Amino acid sequence: NDQTMSHFQSILRKRKTESFKGFLVKVKSGKLQAGSTREKKRYQNVKFMKF
**Do 48 and 24 form a contact (C-beta atoms < 8 A)?**
no
- Side-chain-side CA neighbours of 1 within 13 Å: the count stands at 1
Exposed, middle or buried, 31 (CB in 10 Å: 0-12/13-18/19+)?
Answer: exposed
The residue ranking higher by pLDDT, 34 or 47, is: 47
* 9-27 per-position pLDDT tens digit: 776 666 554 555 555 555 5
Show the domain range for 38. 2-48
How many domains does the structure of the chain reveal? 1
The residue ranking higher by pLDDT, 48 or 14, is: 14
